[in-house]
Amino acid sequence: MIMAKKKKIRVELRKNRTKPPRANDWTRGFQEHGFAEQATSGGERVRAKGDLSRKRTIMQEDGAGAAADPGAVAMPAADPGVHVLGRVLRVHGLASVVETDDGRTLRCAVRRLLKSLATDERNVVATGDRVWVRPAQGDEGFIERVEPRHGTLKRAVRGREHVLVANVDQVVIVIALVEPELKPHLIDRYLASAAQGGIRPILCLNKVDLVDPAEYQPLVGCYGQLGIPALLTSATSGRGLDELRRLLKDRQSVISGQSGVGKSSLLNALQPGLGLAVRSVSEATDKGRHTTTTAQLLKLDFGGWVVDTPGIRQFELWDIIPEEVEGFFPEFHPYVPLCGFPDCTHTHEEDCAIKDAVAKRQISERRYVSYLGLIGGKAEEVVEE
């Protein structure tokens, strides 16, 4: 076996402090009042050392990390003689449940070095991650390294990046037609996040047994024209389940949506043996009540696996700049070159081909309103408070 070459690199760690430990104007006052001449030399720091520099040297495989993926966080190298490769099934606070490639299921803590790395992520480990684990006594272990990711679904939470799931091929966006109320603009936010994460979107309009399906055919047709599979489904009647099963077969998928839209009910209908807990929508608020409390990876009997995620009540995109938003709307692409200004934002400009197309009903007005909400960073149109 040829061992990969390793190299030493310096990695940034999180700061111990973000504020000085005491008032930082003492030196200035000391000098202004003429006490400097009486000063004796001393080694006391006004600012904690950890706030000036927090770095550490680690060993990394040559060509890994940032060299292979510019957006990846530098990770320490793994030793195949000591560590085993596995996949994170779910994350519970400080512990993660990992299924190793040799068939064991271990409850793992994250190595302190990984938790200290300077990153914008809420948690350095996410469901679906491929990780290297150092087994310990019994069914426990330590996550020593997280492999570079592909296919992520993420959002922003309090200024931090929240990776809902990693290493998936597609996202099934479950939207209830009723109970809770249909929010079309939330669909467009999910589609933008899917495009950002490099995963295929599938739209699942659920609880069709409670409405007249004919009323929602224009919505299905709108997304069908964009090449996005749009299904009308019902866990109660079974409508659309065969097509959904076909789309999930032998793929790595994530199911996401608001609380109460019926994600767990759909999975139970697709594979009854899962036995996932379900709850009804609150009659007082018309909002879903959280049943699934953590993202969990589930193997499907008919092939592939799916991650069932907790219901969301707010979906703010992470690290999106206004200039890239138009790229998430494929129906805009033929018209963008026709705008009068190369840097047209399609909001207030006079000679704008996108606005003209909306006026002529060549572009959906509802989709255009979603674009305005994304470019303005507004979430209140599509979330529950």
- pLDDT value, residue 80: 86
- pLDDT value, residue 52: 46
The structural domains of the chain, ordered by start, are: 58-146 (2.40.50.140), 160-308 (3.40.50.300), 322-375 (1.10.40.50)
Whether residue 146 contacts residue 124, with contact meaning beta carbons closer than 8 Å, is answered with: yes
- pLDDT value, residue 118: 53
Q: Which of 60-69, 76-85, 149-158, 160-169 has the lowest mean pLDDT?
A: 60-69
User: Token digits for 78?
Assistant: 């793994």
For 236-286, how does the pLDDT look when each residue is reduced to its tens digit (9 = 90+)? 999 999 999 999 999 999 999 988 898 989 999 999 888 776 655 444 444
Pairwise CA distance, residues 251 & 301, whole Å = 12
User: Token digits for 225?
Assistant: 């024209």
3-state SS of the chain: helix, strand, coil percent to 5?
A: 25, 25, 50
- Sign of the Cα pseudo-torsion (339, 343, 348, 350, in order): negative
Which helix H or strand E contains 160, and what residues bound it? strand 160-165
Pairwise CA distance, residues 133 & 84, whole Å = 5
Average pLDDT score over the chain: 81
DSSP string, 299-362: E-TTSSEEEE---BS--B-SS--GGGGGGG-GGGTTTGGGSSSTT--SSS-SS-HHHHHHHTTS
In this structure, the number of other CB atoms found within 10 A of the CB of residue 67 comes to 14
- Asked if the model's pLDDT at residue 342 lies above 60, the reply is yes
Whether residue 200 contacts residue 170, with contact meaning beta carbons closer than 8 Å, is answered with: yes
- pLDDT value, residue 24: 57
The average pLDDT across 45-53 equals 47
Pairwise CA distance, residues 81 & 262, whole Å = 44
- Asked if the model's pLDDT at residue 57 lies above 50, the reply is yes
For 10-34, how does the pLDDT look when each residue is reduced to its tens digit (9 = 90+)? 556 555 545 554 555 656 665 666 6
Question: Could you tell me if residue 227 is left (phi over 0), alpha (psi between -120 and 50 degrees) or otherwise beta?
Answer: left
Pairwise CA distance, residues 86 & 101, whole Å = 5
- Asked if the model's pLDDT at residue 312 lies above 90, the reply is no
Pairwise CA distance, residues 84 & 348, whole Å = 56
Q: At 51, is the secondary structure helix, strand, or coil? A: helix
3-state per-residue secondary structure call for 206-266: ECHHHCCHHHHHHHHHHHHHCCCCEEECCCCCCCCHHHHHHHHCCCEEEEEEECCCCHHHH
116 pLDDT tier (thresholds 50, 70, 90): confident
Give me the residues paired with residue 200 across strands.
Answer: 170
